[in-house]
Amino acid sequence: MPDKSTRPTAVHMACRHYIVVYQYGKVGSTAIVQSLDALDGVTAVQSHFLGEKNLRQIVPFLVSPKQSAYFHEHKVQQFMRNAAITREVNAFRAEMRPGRRLSIITTCRNPLHWFRSKLSQDIKGYLPSLEELAAQWRINAADRDELILGTVSRLLICLADLLEEAGGIDTVLESPRRFANLAPRTGSPACDRTVRTFFATMMMPFTWYGDHFQEVFGVDLDAASLRDDTLLSRQLGWCDIYFFRYEDIEVAMSDIAERLGLAGKFRLLRENVSSGKAHAATISAAFEGTGANWLGMLFADTRHARQLGYGAALGGPSQDPHQPQTAPSD
């Protein structure tokens, strides 16, 4: 059943709650949106990029002939939805929605688990790039799963090597050019570009809040700490913001439902689970190797991991009284 944002305007406008789950993907957003949107008086939608600046920045990707058909179609659909959501958010900001309440829910995730889940979710779109790298690296495979296992395993080592050579994530983030100076040295300029693209994807949990959330809502979640709390909230007058870890999704969403007056009605569903996707087990096996362990140690040595309580789960020392260790599902 489509969410209320696609239903007739009268139904959409009659809803008291307009809830935007604004996040970087693979953090339980589909489950949250479908669970909330099933409730009377609630319209729930999700987005990865909002605001005029971020919408303009996506246009070059929409029209590039180098973009795969898979990602082109996906981004075009997202662009249309996000333009409509931005318009609605702007209406709340301009106080044009009297009697209605805007809530923004955002959530983070163990960045290593997120990267694995991201690859599993979009493996169809990533396969041409993995096949390109496999050919350059002379990885012989009897079938597609062998190709994915060998190539992703080597890719993770390559990414960890790049990250360590660059001085770590915090150093990369401080550089105005960020990824431009990375030199993967695959032996092929095309494959170097492919590795840099994977590197930028891997960095999404570390870059998204500054590039997207703070840009639209003016709230610096990079400075937030979830070491002692399962839920943080901010009231801006025209909207309320809620921030939590994916690993705490059940407790945090129950708390949010109570604050919104939806307690007793809300039940968290399980949707879009990556473990059921094609080749998910193979990708998980690749993330049990040397490259993933190396990346985990590098991820742990970041302000992001320390602020959000992911240090020990990534292989670093535990300094957090409330340490999320495992994800509720994928």
State the residue for tokens 């890719």: 155
What pLDDT does residue 10 have? Answer: 45
What pLDDT does residue 207 have? Answer: 93
Q: Band of the pLDDT at 325, cuts 50, 70, 90?
A: very low
Residue 40, by phi and psi: left (phi above 0), alpha (psi -120 to 50) or beta?
Answer: beta
Helix axes 111-121, 123-136, angle to 10 degrees: 100
What pLDDT does residue 183 have? Answer: 84
Q: Is 47 exposed, middle or buried (0-12, 13-18, 19+ CB in 10 A)?
A: buried
For the 4-109+206-259 domain, the top CATH level (class) is alpha beta
How many other β-carbons are positioned within 10 Å of the β-carbon of residue 269?
A: 13
pTM for the whole thing?
0.86
Residues 65-116 pLDDT 10s: 988 888 888 888 889 999 999 999 999 999 999 999 999 999 999 999 999 9
- Please give, one letter per residue, the 3-state secondary structure of 269-280: CCCCCHHHCCCH
- Examine the pLDDT at 327 and tell me if it is beyond 70: no
Chain center to CA of 227:
20
Give the percent of the chain with pLDDT over 90.
67
Amino acid at 200: A
Q: Where are the domains of the chain?
A: 4-109+206-259, 112-203+274-302
Of 88, 60, 53, nearest to 75 (Cα)? 60
How many other β-carbons are positioned within 10 Å of the β-carbon of residue 272?
A: 18
Chain center to CA of 80:
19
